[in-house]
Amino acid sequence: MLSKNAGILKYDDLMNPGHLGCPGCGATIAMKFALQALGEKTMVVIPACCWGVIAGPYPQSALKIPILHTAFATAGAAASGLRAALDMRGDTETTVLSWAGDGGTFDIGFQSLSGAVERNEDCIFVCYDNEAYMNTGVQRSSATPYGTQTTTTPADKWKKTGKKNIMEALAAHRIPYAATASIGYPEDMMRKFEKAGEMKGGSRFIHVLATCPTGWRIGSEMSVKIARLAVQTNVFPLYEVEGGIHYTLNFEGDRNVNEYFTSQGRFKHLADADIDLIQQQVDAEWGLLMRKAELSS
Amino acid sequence: MKKVLEGSHAVSEAARLAKVQVIAAYPITPQTHIVEALSQYCSDGTLKARFINVESEHSAMAAVIGAASGGARAFTASSSHGLAYMHELLHWASAARLPIVMAEVNRALGPGWNIWTDQTDSLAQRDTGWIQLYCEDGQEVLDTTLQAFRLAEAVNLPVMVVLDAFYLSHTFEPIDVPDQETVDRFLPPPSPRIRMDTADPCAVNQLVTPAAYMEMRYNTQLAMEEAQRRLVLIEKEFETIFNRTHGLVEAIQCEDAEIIMVTTGTVTGTCRQVLADLRSQGVKVGLFKLKLFRPFPADLICRHLKSAPKIAVIDRNISFGAGGIFAQEIRAALCNQNPHPQVFGYVAGLGGRDITPDTLVEIYNHTKNNPAPAEETIWIGLNQETVESWNN
């Protein structure tokens, strides 16, 4: 498997074998690519999330870089403190990478993230987004999309509100760099992490869609394929925002959302009319994004 | 050099002299003067430190945890609701074994909103694994803050330096502010046990199974026990250099006392005067000042209090349904002594109500005139008319 990717790998793998990720875990793949781009002069701050478990129990660690595990709401603040300590040591070279799930970014961690990026802290803030509280057994978060069944939005109480647009929220802070990335497009993802790594001195945010076979009710072998479909249907567009206002689109999808929604157990209750409505929402969001990109060009 | 300073600035001067490297803070009355001064020092270069203006107290504690994990000498200050908001991270800081120092200004919790002094905020954090030191005056605040860094770094536990709102935080007193050279002799640069390093990567604060969790907590308990022994040594060294000492506790005229008043914080200063007045009338009364509350110095309490017939504990705090918190713990410390004193627990001065010499004389007289406490907690200075008007 490694040989397929050998052309794009720069560093020795910074993950140890034997991590605790589920088979097909998108969050685990995301970390592998992120560290390939950032290298070993990186410290990662992990709040409560799947990665708090994936990284392994004492006395083991799944990563070959330092990890600061921290409380659920605190990734932005703990990363800020660690950054300050490194700066006081005269070390401005080491990258502080905050690595939170959607709960630790969209919900409980939003306040400390907002505070950190408003201060323009010199860190990379990543949300690996598996679109629900997967570590606790698939409860809905504000990153859970319209139409999703979770254990707290079960049966016909499936989620009737849309996914919070976290990229817009972060762009509204006018930070130097914000980007979306997908484990289905590793070259694009690694380019963005490399770019973020080089843009030292301010806050950088990367929103990674990380498929979760367990919570999305897909086969573990489908993880990358579903991640690609999300991009190809414009459900999860790949784009970058510089300075909060300059938009660049990286990929234009042309497939019907039907392909994405009918291939996952979490959406199997949706009727054709529901999916038609979702298509309209996706088209409207995509149109808005295109206009922003046009304004920037 | 003696300067006329308020208690808040005794803290900020000490943090400056301790050469703290990272400060993260969120404003709350009555803590603001502490962080305003430090912010100014960072801004004008007096102090070479990073000041992080976080968006909440929860983030303030998280940021100093991050900073201390990176090996920095880290400091914050808070009060009341701010401290309560930090609660989760207080546990985190001690279990992570980080030598963070925090100044905590005792203030009442709402509702109703009340910015005045009350110890319930810090005492509600007694089980978080923080060392707690309750200060009586501005000099003690400055000296204790300096000692707090030594102590925290010696045992790898966080330390809370506690001072009363307004009576201490906003009251000006002549305070000896030592010069930097002298402080440097007492407090060397930090050599932290935990200092994240890409050259020596490790995971900190990670998942731990039942196979090792309990041993980690036992280690924290051992460190707490060690903290009391270390503080004695640190105080001795402090005395050698600065020629003054405050003690973990202070027992004044307790040997022959028939009643010993037990105080914390600024009430101690008032009680010193009451003690002198009563002694001049030939009354055998003693005063016991409790400064160190965590670790709880049960041995010192037993040594000084066990032979008195009666103890009167003044609590400016309340654990609802149980009583004053200092009284409860002192009772528990004495219960296996035979014989042991009658412990009278008094709740007074909540939410900044004055505890005057008259209040303390009333407490003394109540203790003298009753052979044993009729109830666990005796409320002093309640306006019964108000209470009844609400209950009818």
The average pLDDT across A255-262 equals 98
In this prediction, residue A284 has a pLDDT band, given cuts at 50, 70 and 90, of very high
In the prediction, which pLDDT does B392 show? 79
In the prediction, which pLDDT does A9 show? 66
Q: Contact at 8 Å (CB) between B129 and B95?
A: yes
CB A58 to CB B66 under 8 A? no
Residue whose tokens read 């992120």: A34
In the prediction, which pLDDT does B374 show? 85
> Residue A49 pLDDT > 60, yes or no?
yes
| Closest CB from B66, B68, B205 relative to A79 | B66
- pTM tops 0.90, yes or no: yes
Chain B residue numbers with beta carbons less than 8 Å from the beta carbon of A45 are: 66
Cβ-Cβ pairs closer than 8 A, A with B, add up to 164
Chain B residue numbers with beta carbons less than 8 Å from the beta carbon of A94 are: 198
In the prediction, which pLDDT does B334 show? 97
In the prediction, which pLDDT does B51 show? 98
| Closest CB from B52, B71, B209 relative to A89 | B71
CA-based nearest residue in chain B for residue A50: B207
Measure A36 CA to nearest chain B CA, in Å: 15
State residue B270 phi and psi, 5-degree precision: -65, -40
- The CA distances from residue B65 to A45, A119, B24, B98, B215, in Å, are 12, 18, 10, 7, 22
CB A45 to CB B49 under 8 A? no
The Cα B109–Cα B83 span in angstroms is 10
- Mode of pairing for the β-strands spanning B292-294 and B285-290: unpaired
> Residue A5 pLDDT > 60, yes or no?
no
> Residue A3 pLDDT > 50, yes or no?
no
In this prediction, residue A12 has a pLDDT band, given cuts at 50, 70 and 90, of confident
Among A17-21, A119-123, B82-86, which stretch is predicted with the lowest mean pLDDT? A17-21
The Cα A31–Cα A126 span in angstroms is 10
pLDDT in tens, chain B (392 residues): 999 999 999 999 999 999 999 999 999 999 999 999 999 999 999 999 999 999 999 999 999 999 999 999 999 999 999 999 999 999 999 999 999 999 999 999 999 999 999 999 999 999 999 999 999 999 999 999 999 999 999 999 999 999 999 999 999 999 999 999 999 999 999 999 999 999 999 999 999 999 999 999 999 999 999 999 999 999 999 999 999 999 999 999 999 999 999 999 999 999 999 999 999 999 999 999 999 999 999 999 999 999 999 999 999 999 999 999 999 999 999 999 999 999 999 999 999 999 999 999 999 999 999 999 988 899 999 999 999 999 87
Chain A contact for B55 (CB, 8 A cutoff): yes
Q: What is the CATH number of domain A14-296?
A: 3.40.50.970
CB B92 to CB A79 under 8 A? no
The average pLDDT across A141-153 equals 98
In the prediction, which pLDDT does B376 show? 86
User: What are the E-state strand segments in B62-216?
Assistant: 74-79, 101-106, 131-134, 159-164, 172-176, 203-204
CB B21 to CB A88 under 8 A? yes
| Closest CB from B67, B201, B203 relative to A84 | B67
Among A115, A106, A134, A84, residue whose Cα is nearest residue A207: A106
Chain A contact for B102 (CB, 8 A cutoff): no
DSSP state of B315: E
Among A235, A215, A224, residue whose Cα is nearest residue A285: A235
- Residue A156: how many CB atoms within 10 A of its CB? 8
- Of the residues B20, B26, B38, B52, the best mutation for testing chain A's interface (the one with the most A CB atoms within 10 Å of its CB) is B52
CA-based nearest residue in chain B for residue A109: B59
The Cα B270–Cα B136 span in angstroms is 10
Domain residue ranges in chain A: 14-296
The Cα A81–Cα B89 span in angstroms is 14
- Of the residues B73, B194, B207, B208, the best mutation for testing chain A's interface (the one with the most A CB atoms within 10 Å of its CB) is B207
Give me the DSSP letters along B248-280.
SEEEES-TT-SEEEEE-TTHHHHHHHHHHHHHH
Chain B residue numbers with beta carbons less than 8 Å from the beta carbon of A66 are: 196-198, 201-204
Domains of chain B by range and CATH? 2-242 (3.40.50.970), 249-391 (3.40.50.920)
In the prediction, which pLDDT does A7 show? 59
